[in-house]
Amino acid sequence: MPRVGLLLARRTAAAVYLLRKVVWWVPDFTIDRYRDRLRDLHAHIERNGSFVAHSTRHLIEARRP
């Protein structure tokens, strides 16, 4: 059954904190590597008040026969 996740960030620092803690979302994430994208994210938040990201996850249950 698919599950939909929602990320709402009103500050760039909140998104950075989350990306550093949930390493499987962006495995190679570092501030230096994504600096330009983070600037774009910051500009988006300044213009629109927040950043919203949606994700879909699937739970797969496997059993040995």
- Torsional class of 41: left (φ above 0), alpha (ψ -120 to 50), beta (otherwise): alpha
pTM of the model: 0.66
User: By the 8 A CB rule, do 3 and 54 touch?
Assistant: no
Torsion sign across C-alpha atoms 60, 53, 12, 36: positive
Q: pLDDT 10s digit of each residue in the chain, 65 long? A: 444 555 667 788 888 888 888 888 888 999 999 999 999 988 998 898 888 877 777 778 899 98
Structure tokens at 62: 């496997």
Query: DSSP label at 49?
Result: S
